[in-house]
Amino acid sequence: MEIDSFVQKHKNLLDQRLEQLLAASFPFEWNRELFQSAHYALFPSGKRLRPLLALTVIASAKKSVEPLLTPLCALELLHTYSLIHDDLPCMDNDDFRRGKPSLHKAFSEWLALLTGDFLLTFAFETAVQSPQLSNQQKVDLVAVLARQSGCNGMIGGQYLDLHLEGKKVPWQKIRQMYIGKTSSLLSASLEFGVILAGLTDPKDRLALRKLGTYLGIVYQIQDDLFNATSQQALLGKPVGSDCKRKKANALSLLGEQEAKKTLETFSRLALRTFSSCSFSTVLLQEAVQQIFMRRF
Ligand code: IPE
Ligand code: IPE
Ligand code: MG
Ligand code: MG
């Protein structure tokens, strides 16, 4: 199947499954507002990049993807929580996300905070919901999700992002921040793919974890470039906000030309990781190329 139709088909399936899972979690009326705020944050959808990456691994390993949609939704729930908190006034203070007012603008700050908390815990509940999974697979998924979203993963990266605001730091520090805040969840997504596809060669897991690391750096440099040069109508989120907050990033440290060169270096490193995989990575390689071109 062509990557474009693969993405469209599975994005729709993921959206349907997310709708079902969320609706099933709210059988009563008393917490309806929490349902509405979570729904607002999740729909209409973002790119669904993280579960789609995992699905690409599963399809590449020739496994049927539909029975595994539920645990994959965990990746999107956790990512959406990170975006809600990222936009809060005490963090990036951004008022626009996915083409509409950020959650704390559309609802309230306290509800945005709690909705993020809910999506985080809901992610763990969802990761282990599928009857098709073995107990070992469930334990592996929970361990990956916790490790990659924690203090040495996404939260650690978010800590550095805020801690380094207004500071001049070397590239190594910025790279560490990127690996934390962005690569961690991309590596987690690829590892979800490995676990759910039942790929047992440790080389695959290692290679895809590395792929996630490089891909995250590329993706975040692109994001920083867009923040400086794109338009809110295209991005669906504010432009110029990194500069206003004096964010330490590839662009502010290296300038546009060098940042683009760095991006190309890490793109090449990402493409090299495929040679260590034991399964056919044609579809995954196509997906990665699409991400480089931001066509996902
Ligand atoms: C935004 O992630 C945050 C970054 C890591 C750059 P995405 O670009 O995947 O955002 P959505 O999910 O499509 O909105
Ligand atoms: C967001 O990074 C990373 C996480 C939410 C973990 P940014 O703050 O750079 O991303 P945007 O530009 O707000 O999406
Ligand atoms: Mg941020
Ligand atoms: Mg932000």
Q: What is the rounded distance in angstroms from the CA atom of residue 164 to the CA atom of residue 159?
A: 8
Q: What is the rounded distance in angstroms from the CA atom of residue 207 to the CA atom of residue 194?
A: 10
pLDDT score of 260: 96
Q: Where would I find the H helices in 43-183? A: 49-60, 69-87, 103-106, 109-127, 135-149, 154-163, 171-178
Query: What is the Å distance from ligand 2's center to 246 Cα?
Result: 14
CA dihedral sign, ordered 163, 166, 168, 174: positive
pLDDT digits (tens, 9 = 90+) for 22-77: 999 999 999 999 999 999 999 998 999 999 999 999 999 999 988 899 999 999 99
pLDDT bin (cut points 50, 70, 90) of residue 229 is very high
**pTM tops 0.95, yes or no:** yes
Query: What is the Å distance from ligand 4's center to 93 Cα?
Result: 8
Pocket test of ligand 2: the residue of 151, 174, 181 to mutate, having most ligand atoms within 8 Å of its CB, is 181
Collapsed DSSP state (helix, strand, coil) of residue 97: strand
Q: Is 147 in the pocket of ligand 1 (CB under 6 A)?
A: no
Is the pLDDT confidence value at 192 over 80?
yes
Rg for the chain, CA atoms, rounded: 18
pLDDT digits (tens, 9 = 90+) for 211-226: 999 999 999 999 999 9
Query: What is the Å distance from ligand 2's center to 135 Cα?
Result: 33
Asked whether 68 and 130 are in contact (CB, 8 A), the reply is: yes
Collapsed DSSP state (helix, strand, coil) of residue 244: helix
Pocket test of ligand 2: the residue of 75, 76, 79, 83 to mutate, having most ligand atoms within 8 Å of its CB, is 83
Is the pLDDT confidence value at 2 over 90?
no
Q: Is 220 in the pocket of ligand 1 (CB under 6 A)?
A: yes
- 90: tokens are 């005490």
Question: Which residues are bridge partners to 96 per DSSP?
Answer: 101
Distances (CA, A) of 82 to 88, 157, 293: 10, 11, 24
Closest atom of ligand 1 relative to the 98 alpha carbon: 14
CA dihedral sign, ordered 153, 160, 290, 102: positive
